[in-house]
Structure 1
Amino acid sequence: MTLPINPAERSPKGDHNRRLALGMDPDDFAREAGVTTDALREYELTSPDHNHDPYVAELVGAALERLEANPPSSQRVINK
């Protein structure tokens, strides 16, 4: 279950940062989420005062949940 449950309440910039933390480029992540790279970019670049596509938000959120539960080898953790 993705959080927040309502896709309209997701934070595109937060999801962008979560994707970056996974170390995934937009093409690979978009493929994993089931959206086009253009749709992913448009979603991630949505400013807080604009509305985003809730369908894309739902797919992105679900992909983030899956990938964070089982991180890809591209994820790098650096402890200093």
Structure 2
Amino acid sequence: MTFPSDPHERLPRGDKNRRISLGVTREEMANTAGITVEQLHDYEHTQPDRQFSIAIARRVGAALETLQATRTPRVDNGPVPVNHAD
């Protein structure tokens, strides 16, 4: 399961920061996510008040989870938050 589990709640700029903290290049991230570098660029540069592709968000989220499971981050972002049902 990805964090956040609902791709509508993803934050593209936050995902970019997660990628950078892992030391992952755009090319490697796009390859892992199965998208183009251009799609990744467009997703990561989505302004907070704009919509993004949910399909791309799902792929990026899954790729981040895979990469985080196999790499040591260059930056300690603390523990992964737990989703709580209200």
* Same-fold status (TM-score > 0.5): yes
Q: How far did 1:3 drift?
A: 1.5
Cα distance change of structure 1 residues 42 and 70 upon mapping to structure 2, 3 Å threshold = same
Q: How far did 1:77 drift?
A: 5.6
Measured in 1, the distance between the counterparts of 2:24 and 2:44 equals 14
Cα distance change of structure 1 residues 52 and 71 upon mapping to structure 2, 3 Å threshold = same
Structure 1: any 5+ residue segments left out of the alignment?
none
Equivalent in the alignment of 1:59: 59
Per residue, is there more helix in 1 or in 2? 1
Structure 2: any 5+ residue segments left out of the alignment?
77-86
Equivalent in the alignment of 2:6: 6
Measured in 2, the distance between the counterparts of 1:58 and 1:70 equals 19
Identity %: 46
Question: Residue by residue, what CA displacement relative to the aligned partner does 1:34-65 show, whole Å, maximum 9, x if unpaired?
Answer: 11100000000001100000000000000101
Report the 3-state secondary structure (helix = DSSP H, G, I; strand = E; otherwise coil) of the residue aligned with 2:39: helix
Instruction: Give the residue type in structure 2 aligned to 1:53.
Output: S
Measured in 2, the distance between the counterparts of 1:41 and 1:77 equals 22
Measured in 2, the distance between the counterparts of 1:77 and 1:13 equals 16
Report the 3-state secondary structure (helix = DSSP H, G, I; strand = E; otherwise coil) of the residue aligned with 1:5: coil
Aligned pairs, number: 76
Equivalent in the alignment of 1:20: 20
* TM-score (normalizing by structure 1): 0.87
Equivalent in the alignment of 2:81: none
